Amino acid sequence: MHQPNPINIRSIDHVVIRVTDLDGMIAFYRDVLGCRLERGPGELRLAQLRAGQSLIDLVDSNSALGRQGGSAPDHGAPNMDHVCLQVQPWDADAIGEHLRRHGVAVGEVVTRYGAAGTGPSLYLQDPEGNRVELKG
């Protein structure tokens, strides 16, 4: 008899990115992407930024907490392929203009599939080379 799966995922709670320049990364996620610094960084050197209903945690890879994850990330070998952030309302022109004003290279807007279905999206990179997808 098949047992029901007790794990029913509703959304991503948080993603943790190990970083080498914590202050620069906080500034990027706060000032460029509009996340709100909710906690930290404090003695743990862990910053928790609100991204809608989810959190993006940035941990200093040189802190005691960050060293638990191994050696520091490398711009040539980032920590992840990408994290996708849903953006509403979607205004590709305004988003592109905002990103370029902050010196961020903006990828082409294309239609991609994600948790909320098919919609427009674009890729960019944070200051440490991690790819971020913004999706309408």
Per-residue pLDDT reduced to its tens digit, 51-73: 998 999 999 988 877 777 777 76
**Domain holding 19: CATH number?**
3.10.180.10
Query: Residue 25: pLDDT band by 50, 70, 90 thresholds?
Result: very high
**Residue 76 pLDDT > 70:** no
Number of independent structural domains in the chain: 1
Give mean pLDDT, residues 17-28: 93
pLDDT at 87: 87
Report if residue 127 sits inside a domain. Answer: yes
Q: What is the dihedral of CA 39, 88, 53, 4, to 10 degrees?
A: -150
C-alpha distances (whole Å) from 75 to each of 31, 33, 64, 81, 105 are 21, 20, 21, 12, 16
Tokens representing 101 are 């004003």
- The whole-model pTM stands at 0.76
pLDDT at 135: 87
Report if residue 9 sits inside a domain. Answer: no
Report if residue 4 sits inside a domain. Answer: no
Report if residue 88 sits inside a domain. Answer: yes
Which among 122, 130, 120, 109 has a CA at the least distance from the CA of 56? 130
Give mean pLDDT, residues 29-56: 93
Give mean pLDDT, residues 103-126: 89
